């Protein structure tokens, strides 16, 4: 808890430097780990491609039911937090390309990881595992020498949690900065303390955590904040832009009429 608290605080205070550099440093290692994990699983004979079948055995309806609202709000819906950072981007012309590229790479990683987990554990094993990728890494055993590489998975998970939590915390700090008109660094320490505290008391155990995260949060928190609130704000923004445009048009029209009267007189 203490390490997470101070790590989040330092990570947020030096956000622009540390976030990009940390992700830039460890991203190649993530791809390298997935590549080596695939090679190790193939070498140890744990991948069974027949466990992928059947594909769409019950049609497309179960896929649609899984995608909405499950996969729509998590993890892709959480990208709404990056709209807070867009106002600080200097080269705004590259934002669409970089955003689509990031979503594409993340989608590929999720698809490939899901393929590895299903091909190694099977559907039943995947559903029973609390951390499927960790269970997949534990299956690696080559000559009783290369094994127990699950520590690398734990490191990647902890790094991802730190980056993700820092992004959300940074978004909340920027919101408070806008509301209170104070630099967000004033709120870094108390906000990090609150996050560390509520991360412990938010659920009684892991089963309660899954119940909240899969049954309550998507419907009562994710859907309103990721879709309803941005849609309402978009409508208000379009209305204000049209209103300002009409005012400017009316002002220009009135000034043109006054100039014509002066010229005529």
Alpha carbons 14 and 196: distance in angstroms, whole number: 19
Q: Are residues 263 and 187 in the same domain?
A: no
- The answer to whether residue 1 scores a pLDDT higher than 80 is no
Q: Are residues 219 and 197 in the same domain?
A: no
Q: Are residues 234 and 210 in the same domain?
A: yes
pLDDT of 232 reads 92
Q: Are residues 167 and 53 in the same domain?
A: yes
Q: Are residues 85 and 179 in the same domain?
A: yes
pLDDT of 236 reads 92
Q: Are residues 184 and 213 in the same domain?
A: no
pLDDT of 4 reads 47
- The answer to whether residue 235 scores a pLDDT higher than 90 is yes
* Domain C-terminal end among 184, 202, 220: 202
Alpha carbons 189 and 2: distance in angstroms, whole number: 12
* Domain C-terminal end among 153, 187, 202: 202
Domain that holds residue 120: 2-202
Tokens of 224: 């309103």
Average pLDDT over residues 207-214: 81
Q: Are residues 166 and 236 in the same domain?
A: no
**Strands 146-147 and 141-142, sheet pairing:** antiparallel
Name the domain count of the chain: 2
Alpha carbons 163 and 20: distance in angstroms, whole number: 10
Alpha carbons 132 and 121: distance in angstroms, whole number: 8
Give burial (CB, 10 Å; 0-12/13-18/19+) of 152: middle
Q: Are residues 74 and 169 in the same domain?
A: yes
Q: Are residues 143 and 249 in the same domain?
A: no
User: pLDDT tens digit string along 115-136?
Assistant: 888 888 888 888 888 888 888 8
Lowest mean pLDDT among 37-46, 187-196, 254-263: 254-263
Alpha carbons 112 and 119: distance in angstroms, whole number: 10
pLDDT of 254 reads 56
pLDDT of 9 reads 47
Q: Are residues 196 and 214 in the same domain?
A: no
* Domain C-terminal end among 202, 231, 253: 202
Q: Are residues 216 and 126 in the same domain?
A: no
Q: Are residues 173 and 92 in the same domain?
A: yes
User: pLDDT tens digit string along 154-196?
Assistant: 888 888 888 888 888 888 888 888 888 888 888 888 888 888 8
């Amino acid at each position: 808890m203490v390490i997470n608290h101070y790590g989040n605080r330092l990570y947020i205070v030096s956000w622009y430097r540390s976030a990009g550099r940390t992700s830039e440093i460890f991203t190649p290692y993530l791809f390298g780990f997935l590549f080596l994990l695939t090679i190790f699983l193939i070498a140890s004979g744990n991948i069974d491609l027949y466990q992928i079948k059947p594909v769409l055995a019950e049609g497309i309806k179960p896929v649609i039911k899984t995608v909405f609202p499950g996969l729509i709000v998590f993890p892709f819906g959480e990208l709404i937090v990056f709209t807070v950072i867009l106002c600080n981007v200097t080269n705004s012309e590259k934002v669409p390309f970089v955003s689509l590229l990031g979503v594409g790479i993340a989608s590929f990683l999720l698809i490939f990881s899901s393929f590895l987990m299903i091909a190694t554990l099977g559907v039943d094993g995947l559903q029973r595992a609390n951390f499927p990728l960790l269970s997949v890494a534990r299956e690696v055993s080559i000559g009783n020498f290369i094994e127990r590489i699950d520590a690398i998975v734990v490191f990647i998970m902890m790094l991802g949690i730190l980056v993700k939590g820092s992004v959300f915390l940074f978004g909340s700090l920027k919101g408070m900065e806008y509301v209170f008109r104070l630099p967000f660094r004033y709120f870094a320490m108390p906000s990090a303390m609150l996050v560390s505290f509520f991360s412990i008391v938010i659920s009684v155990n892991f089963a309660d955590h899954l119940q909240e995260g899969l049954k309550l949060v998507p419907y009562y928190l994710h859907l309103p904040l990721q879709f309803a609130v941005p849609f309402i704000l978009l409508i208000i923004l379009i209305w204000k832009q049209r209103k300002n445009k009409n005012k400017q048009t009316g002002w220009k029209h009135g000034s043109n009429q006054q100039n014509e009267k002066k010229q005529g007189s």
